[in-house]
Amino acid sequence: AFALRWDYIYQRRLAVERELTKDALKCQDILDYIKEAGLLKTACDFSPCYELLVREFLVNIPEECDNPLSKDYHKVFVRGKCINFSPVVINNYLGRSIEPKAELEVANDVVSSEITAGKVKVWPKKKLIPTSKLNVKYAILNRIGSTNWVPTKHATNVATNLGRFIYDVGTKVDYDYGSFIFDQTIKHIRSTAVKMPITFPSLLCGIILDQYPDIKVVTDTPKKRESGFTFHHKLFGNHNVADNVGTSADGAGTMTKK
């Protein structure tokens, strides 16, 4: 079973997070939203990303990792070590509250209206909103999110799950990001798809290395990152709609479901 799982996980693209550059960090409003969400460690100050360690971690996630009645509950054994892995562990690593409140379900139409400043009041039937319709705040959050949070190949459109994620960040909703990241990680043992990206790999490495700094082996080398995010200053002259949000490279990946 583990050998078969390795075949799928080995083929999946590692969605290595890109860092906010010093210039991007000067966008104080955007930085405040990311800080408030407790997602700073998903946008800068990353742990080194060790590809083999991440893949070994995913392969070894027990089937019953999310079953409270199992002895494997919230435990992953990697290289002879027992890693504690749960929404609470993730939230603690991010410096977030360990007592997330119940989620309030928001209609897609509310999301579309918010992220486009009222320009798209009903979420399109094709499930995609053009990025040109986003207001400045959400255009920037989308550029970060489409690479670091919900990796996607839809560079010119926003799908529902990414739209809802940046809505949560941009409205400072008390959303349980720890559970979201946990669920996205667990999906890798329950899917045979090879096009789904491996998200938050640097964060996973950070959690593992926090518990066992000596878990690395000689063959572990840090994964090279793409150049960081830099946003065009001309964006901030128009506070209604961002027709173009520039970064130093386009995000890539495959949309995952939320």
pLDDT of residue 79: 97
pLDDT of 49 strictly over 90: yes
Statement: residue 123 has pLDDT above 70: yes
Strands of the chain, DSSP E:
75-78, 81-84, 128-130, 157-159
Percentage of the chain modeled with pLDDT above 70:
86
pLDDT at 232: 60
Predicted confidence (pLDDT) per residue in 202-246, tens digit? 999 999 999 999 999 999 999 999 888 877 654 554 443 333 333
Q: Domain ranges for the chain, please list them.
A: 2-237
Tell me: pLDDT of 253 over 50.
no
Cα separation of 69 and 90, whole Å?
21
Check residue 100 and give its pLDDT.
58
Mean pLDDT for 140-152 is 94
Its pTM stands at: 0.86
User: Tokens representing 63?
Assistant: 């089937």
What percent of the chain lies above the pLDDT cut of 90? 68
Kindly give the interhelix angle for 28-37 and 136-148, rounded to the nearest 10 degrees.
50
Cα of 99 vs its chain's centroid, Å? 20
